Amino acid sequence: MTPLALMRHLGINYKSAWRMKHKIMQVMAEREAMRRLTGFL
């Protein structure tokens, strides 16, 4: 989702939407990094 879409859906300004998008992406990346690989590689 783009910051512009977040801005429109949530009724917030672009700067806040941009920060929110990047925070969400950061949390998703951290969560993914915590997963352990299992099975055959």
Span 2-13, average pLDDT: 96
**What is the per-residue pLDDT for 31?**
87
Span 32-38, average pLDDT: 76
10 within a domain of the structure (yes/no): yes
Closest-CA residue to 6 (of 30, 28, 25) = 25
**What is the per-residue pLDDT for 37?**
67
Q: What is the pLDDT of residues 15-30, one digit of tens each?
A: 999 999 999 999 999 8
Asked whether the predicted pLDDT for residue 9 surpasses 90, the reply is yes
pTM (two decimals): 0.72
38 within a domain of the structure (yes/no): no
Q: How many structural domains is the chain composed of?
A: 1
**What is the per-residue pLDDT for 6?**
95
For helices 3-10 and 14-34, angle between their N-to-C axes, nearest 10 degrees: 110
41 within a domain of the structure (yes/no): no
